[in-house]
Structure 1
Amino acid sequence: MLQIAPDRFHPIPGASQTAPGLLVTHVAGSIREIGREAWNACFPGQVEDFDCLLAIEEAGIAGFTWRYVTVLADDRVVAAMPAFLCPYPLDTTLEAGLLKRGVHRIRQIFPSFLTLRLACLGSPCTETGVAGFHPDVPEYLHETLFSKLLDGFERQATVEGCSLLGLKDIAGPTALEFTAPLSKRGYAAIDGMPTAWLDIDFDTIDAYMSRLSGGTRKDMRRKLKSFGGVRVEIRTDFGDLLPRVMELYRNTRERSQWQFEELTPAYFSGILDHMKGRTFCCLYFVGTRLLAANLLVHDEGTLIDKFFCMDGEEGRPYNLYFLSWFTNLRYCLDHGLHRYQSGQAYYENKVRLGSKLTSNSMFFRHRNPVLQAVLRLASPLLSADETSGQHQ
């Protein structure tokens, strides 16, 4: 087990050499600077690992700059967390309505209205924000190392002129573990959108269906008849269909209430390229026309639904969202996976289909204490509604 003296700190951003037992924070501009082996060692069991983050980094997502905060002991990475910088409109999570429309009208005249420069730990494109620790680090040192990660992150945010600091989608158990150091630094918490997941603890689709309510079983059997008119292809690349997939993505994004990052063709193709053997796409055709696409990633135990996009007008009559759900469950059964993680939003259908929800929290702190107090008061309006979202 790695031995670290918790009081031996040396906050020099970017330092590459350390004395024995000395903790040093470092912020990298590319995950390639850290390396796959060093990064993944701190995230055992994480599906969205080095290769996933590299694909996100190289996707060319407009408005985002990527950072990777690490803590080193004896030149070994012992803690790590991704981060990003971007302009952040405070109305991003406001529900559609009079207030959001008013902000939009003002922004037509003053484009930067209610937009702050944000530095945030986590990633806009992963399921949750995860702080990673090397397995040799004893658990009682996790809080110490997390505080060191915050040190490096906050210094970098100052250098890069970010007035608003945040942590995105920290899962419930982790949020509880690190509430103390975050509270000491003045971070406030608001509810994020929970993550939906389903344990694959059944052997057949029929066994799964038997657990659903009578009304849901009847509805699903009716919807699954649509398989007769739909052709499903599982592929490991989009090929010449990528432009059509992007059409479907934009169509889906326009229907969504929550719009933060805008994904690129390089994101969709990059996930498939960088995570070979651990990712695939399901394509749903009616005749020769592609009406829906589903990007998924996995490891030996968990399947994560990264993005389902669909032609809203032509696809809905074929119940493609529900066909994708059962296609993904069959994939889990066929490949021995024990969990299907269907992500955020559209909770009514997911809970109806047996999913459970894990809460996520977001934390924020403005450098100006007056503005921080204002944001605290406004935070109930800015938090994401856990049950909202347009149904597919």
Structure 2
Amino acid sequence: MQTNLNQLEPQSLVDAFLKHPPQNFNVQNYADFLPFFSTDFDLLTTLDTPVRQRISKLPAYAYWGKLLHLSTCFIGTTVTEYSLLSPALAVDVLLRKLKQNVRKNTLTIIKDLPINSPLLSTEENTYSAELVCQSENQGFITVEGQALAYVPIDFQNRAEYLARLSRSRRKNLNRKLKSLDLLRVEVLATGDSRFANAIFRDQLYQLYFAVYQQSDIHFDLLSPAFFDAVLQDVQAEGRVFFYWYEEKLVGYNICYIHRGNLVDKYIGFNYPLALSFNLYFVSWFVNLDYAVQQGLKFYIAGWTDPEVKAQLGAKFTFTRHLVWIQQPALRYVLGKFKHLFEADAHWHEQKQESST
């Protein structure tokens, strides 16, 4: 079944996930339902970092912490910004089929449902709102999700964009952007003949893996086979931005042009070189420049680092997760502590309060 509601990425990226799932993911894709995957999920994964660190330092955590790993089914994928839904499935039918398909799991999570997203159509937002309403009526727990960063391309050039930021931020970013004078930027379409080189693809994977290792959250480790498929995909309208210093690859990121947007998906950094060239910040503005040049509507910058992206001028749209817990007692307990799993919502509330 074509799952085309909420889909900001090309279908081939979803297909690559289904064919080459992340490590320890069991992926299913029934013809009359939606893509979903199951894995052992550590409940601490989405906690605020200070809370997670405090819990992990408690006595004997190495032993009792294993109890926090629950068999969990996720409706959706980890390669799409939103949960993929189908207009061919009425909401009540979707929920009935969901409960039929996931009985073996302790938790079932419909992840990353859009809430009045400016990146989607009225039909898509309405369907998600109805799904949230009916799910809550059937005993699902609603958990506030992550902050998806995006930038409307309503400016003509970098100078105009920077002029919207505070003087201190402009000064800081202009200093970081001087690194761009030392770098050579190269843009290749996915499927380019350069990606036929297995040694080159392996180099790119190692740079992705370096970023994965330094991240605070280790959830979905994508495989070399997945990247092989993505990089060699001719049809996907993917763009790989490379940053070279002399003959050294400093880093890259993989984006897609889809639905009139530039969607930023994956990065790879050559540490510590990428840090010395401020590549995170440099790549942000190169991507914005490219979106302007291509006449696109939005630059969609992903879920991570909302505080940094806010300083870079991003706007945010939020999601909700719907959580079904098989055991009523566990449902009651986790429902009482759901606020601990809403890190981005807490950050946004504090940001709003500080600006008033």
TM-score, scaled relative to structure 1: 0.77
Q: Structure 1, residues 282-333: CA drift from partner, whole Å, max 9, x if none?
A: 1112222212120111225101110123234221111111111111112112
**Unpaired stretches in structure 1, ≥5 consecutive residues:** 1-33, 72-79, 135-141
Q: Tell me the distance in 1 between the aligned counterparts of 2:240 and 2:42.
A: 32
1:268 aligns with 2:206: no
Q: Which residue matches 2:56?
A: 100
- 8 Å Cα contact 1:301-1:339 kept in structure 2: yes
1:118 aligns with 2:72: yes
2:321 partner amino acid: M
Q: Which residue matches 1:199?
A: 152
1:184 partner amino acid: N
1:46 offset after TM fit, Å?
A: 3.2
2:102 aligned counterpart, secondary structure:
helix
**Aligned partner (choices 85, 88, 107) of residue 164 of structure 1:** 107
Percent identity, aligned pairs only, is 27
- 8 Å Cα contact 1:89-1:116 kept in structure 2: yes
Q: Which has the larger radius of gyration?
A: 1
**CA distance 1:292–1:190, change in 2 (3 Å):** same
Q: Structure 1, residues 230-249: CA drift from partner, whole Å, max 9, x if none?
A: 12221235433222222222
**Aligned partner (choices 360, 366, 369) of residue 319 of structure 2:** 360
- Structure 1 range deviating more: 218-227 or 332-341: 218-227
1:70 offset after TM fit, Å?
A: 6.0
Aligned residues: 328
- 8 Å Cα contact 1:131-1:146 kept in structure 2: no
1:224 aligns with 2:177: yes
1:211 aligns with 2:154: no
Greater RCO (Cα-Cα under 8 Å, separation 6 or more): 2
Q: Structure 1, residues 328-355: CA drift from partner, whole Å, max 9, x if none?
A: 1121122111100001121122122221
Q: Tell me the distance in 1 between the aligned counterparts of 2:34 and 2:156.
A: 37
1:48 aligned counterpart, secondary structure:
coil
Counterparts in 2 of 1:1-392, with a 5 A limit? 34=1, 39=2, 43=4, 46-68=7-29, 81-94=34-47, 95=49, 96-102=52-58, 106-107=61-62, 109=63, 112-133=66-87, 145-158=90-103, 161-173=104-116, 174=125, 175-235=128-188, 236=190, 237=192, 238=195, 239=197, 240-274=199-233, 276-386=235-345, 387=347
RMSD of the TM alignment (CA)? Answer: 2.3
Q: Tell me the distance in 2 between the aligned counterparts of 1:191 and 1:114.
A: 20
Runs of 4+ in 1 over 4 A off after TM superposition: 109-112
- 8 Å Cα contact 1:248-1:291 kept in structure 2: no
**CA distance 1:62–1:176, change in 2 (3 Å):** same
2:100 partner amino acid: R
**CA distance 1:383–1:300, change in 2 (3 Å):** closer
- Structure 1 range deviating more: 110-119 or 180-189: 110-119
Q: Tell me the distance in 1 between the aligned counterparts of 2:36 and 2:296.
A: 30
- 8 Å Cα contact 1:198-1:341 kept in structure 2: yes
- 8 Å Cα contact 2:250-2:273 kept in structure 1: yes
1:195 offset after TM fit, Å?
A: 0.4
**Unpaired stretches in structure 2, ≥5 consecutive residues:** 117-124, 349-356
**CA distance 1:63–1:277, change in 2 (3 Å):** closer
- 8 Å Cα contact 2:141-2:324 kept in structure 1: yes
Q: Structure 1, residues 238-268: CA drift from partner, whole Å, max 9, x if none?
A: 4332222222222212222222111112222
1:281 offset after TM fit, Å?
A: 1.1
1:162 partner amino acid: N
1:54 partner amino acid: D
TM-score, scaled relative to structure 2: 0.84
